[in-house]
Structure 1
């Protein structure tokens, strides 16, 4: 979207990456995929985005907003980031913290570089190539997060001038990311300030999709003044559905300076076809478009009329959002109150080359989230941790480790990126499980793999 936010922001937090945050899937390495024109999660289940945009690049101190967005019913959040071309750069540690906030609040995290907005017409804009450079530079923050994050290369990468190379430039950007080792679902924005009134994305989407060796591209249309008529909305989204191509409405509003979009038709058409949508935006708009704030001054208890419509109205977020299955059962846990004091932290058992410590991080009536820290006592090329549950617990999903179970006996081994440890170095992994009321922490045995 054009000229919608104030360009000043709080100082960017540079928090260290925490490998264990929240709830995760059994097949994290698979990540999101496109199957038969649909976005599916790592468990192979349809995932339909129902969420909002968060202006993190300009308001990096508003990290509590992630919990608030989750509490309002959203299942996804599209996060504004900067590669440093136009605004303050969000570094890898900050992006890792954003991902951890998303995961802690059961939100699928759509990460986008906003500096590309209006390239070709906006002289200060970043190119897609520069956006790809940024993603490669912060790749460490996204490794292993394919099941919880979607990589949106660049916001509205062309304005209304110079947009003709959109297809070739987008394909090149996708392939550069694949060559660099990114396995994520990659989301690509339309030109024409995201609104594709020239149908450049629509007419070239199949070509771009086929150019990706993973066939894992999701198309993103932004609906503002171009989409005043229900018929225009239905025709555009219907074209992708009929063509078997995946699409999401990554931004839209109830009003705009270039026209009055039909938000009711956007919501109804998205629900009709089972397509995702992400409203613009949680709070902090400036430049004359403050009316697009969903909350007043980042206060979840003070929704604007637009916020009431999007969250609580017909076909809105509360009525239609379903939590991604990688976060456990559909819908929020019944009062998943975090345990204020981690239960059961047995003394690490010195093993063969490493020790492992188990901590229950979150527990509710029939489930829990636990984290395990593996610390090398000597240089390791791999590790394995085993334990036996005494209270009948079962593991339903895990992340940052390969976990298998045989009855009460559980074995976890490193994945490709965290097996090599120097003496004294620690790797972490996590798991989600179920219990029948008792959930004592097991004793672990750690050995070199």
Structure 2
């Protein structure tokens, strides 16, 4: 659209799919997500999401319930002590992941699906900390492994459902195996397991409560919410947001670094990782300043390959954007694309290139004239709770795996991108791993 001279807000009539207004400039995105967010409070959604219980905890609609839920969640993600719990769990999980990879690297068949492995690892961190199910958590839930496997299948099935061709769930849902599997088996089982976790936490004695850490979101929720369904929906949102973003970004970063044109960045990142002991001994508040190369790589990957390519907001009231220039009526949907904003050549130099140097030169905006050009985590009241945390987790993951392993990906060339609910690298990140050095006392 922008190549044809469009800018600002562009209305597009998609016939039976409705009329949409596309936000093409950072200024228009700021207006919709910050300045006039009260008239665009509802996340664009489809009926399937409600059936699958997606986007209903924190994400769906900005209002009193959203404010209450987000207010409860903020301390578990943004306070320093909470972030330290997450970072500690991330480092411990990376220890386990590295040991697993070391064992596979010593086998004749050392091929792995890196994306699948990173998804498992990221999910473990969320369950360990947000659910309080880790080694240091407040709860010793006996069915934790079953819960983890059920959540993993839930995520796998909803992605498969979104990718169905033809989309049987739209035509006749009961003809779709994935739809039936999710709605009849996986989701009911997941509800049951999560409800058991919630009830176990409600019955927890004082000793259990004392063991809770600041990031133990479930512990916070059971103290403040009486409705188990409300608690469950918030946890569902956190699981999806907290696992897929970290996994896809870390995997994409490692893939890009191992492409021929990026060897310089691979060497720089690995050197920094070795010099900093992969961040293992660095205090949380110093990770980003001490590891600027790995941080810049993470930010550049998020610019080019944001976890969510498209975000929509639906109006519930009347108003306008940009000082009355664009009228808004109830039911209107306004959309922006973090993918497009991150690749807009009017905002970024060499917009299509993987060039982490832009973030070393300008750590705030990467050289873009507007900080609304980089929105992998959204913006405004509806922005992601875990922005700082996600960036830190990716930085540590990149550093640790670069120190321990070489990766030889079967796929070569540009990152094979596919989006469904989020960036999906399923099945295209197979690689052979080689252990770089024996594990020493530092790593």
Higher RCO (C-alpha 8 Å, min separation 6) = 2
- Which has the larger strand fraction? 1
TM-score, normalised to structure 2, is: 0.23
